[in-house]
Amino acid sequence: METIHNKNSARDFFLYVLAVGTLYFCVWRFIDMLFEYINHAFPDRLDGPFNYAFENIRVSMATLIIVFPVYLGVTWFLRKDIIKNPEKSELKVRKWLLYFTLFLAAVTIIVDMVTLVIGFLNGDLTVRFLFKVLVVLLTASGVFGYYIWDLKREITPHSRPSRILLICVSAVVIASVVGGFFVIGSPAKQRLMRMDEKRMQDLSSLQNEVVNYWLAKSALPRSIEELKAGRDGMVLPRDPETDKDYEYIKTANLSYVICANFNLSSIEAAGGSKYSQPMYPGDMNYDFAHEAGKKCFNRDINPATYKPMMLK
CA angle 226, 287, 310 (to 5 degrees): 40
pLDDT, tens digit (0-9, with 9 covering 90-100), for 177-223: 998 888 887 888 888 888 988 998 899 889 888 888 888 888 888 88
* Rounded alpha-carbon distances, angstroms, from residue 64 to 16, 57, 180, 248: 19, 11, 11, 45
Judge whether residue 281 has pLDDT over 60. no
pLDDT band at 115 (very low <50, low <70, confident <90, very high): confident
297 has which bridge partners? Answer: 258
Continuous segment of H or E residues that includes residue 121: helix 92-122
* Rounded alpha-carbon distances, angstroms, from residue 90 to 2, 64, 172: 12, 30, 31
Pair 259, 266: CB distance under 8 Å = no
pLDDT, tens digit (0-9, with 9 covering 90-100), for 124-182: 678 888 888 899 999 999 999 888 888 887 766 566 656 777 888 889 999 999 988 88
Task: Write the secondary structure of 281-312 as one string of H (helix), E (strand) and C (coil).
Answer: CCCHHHCCCCCCEEEEEEEECCCCCCCCHHHC
Rounded-to-integer distance, Cα 260 and Cα 202, Å = 10
Rounded-to-integer distance, Cα 62 and Cα 195, Å = 21
pLDDT at 167: 85
Pair 88, 12: CB distance under 8 Å = yes
Q: Among 9-23, 128-142, 263-277, 292-306, where is mean pLDDT lowest?
A: 263-277
Give, as one character, the DSSP assignment of residue 245. B
- How, if at all, do strands 293-300 and 255-262 pair? antiparallel
Q: Give Cα 289 to chain centroid, integer Å.
A: 22
Mean per-residue pLDDT of the chain: 81
Handedness of CA 204, 209, 215, 220 (dihedral sign): negative
Query: Which three-class secondary structure state does DSSP give residue 251?
Result: strand
pLDDT at 175: 92
Query: Which three-class secondary structure state does DSSP give residue 238?
Result: strand
Listed residue (142, 17, 3, 154) closest to 92, CA to CA: 17
pTM of the model: 0.71
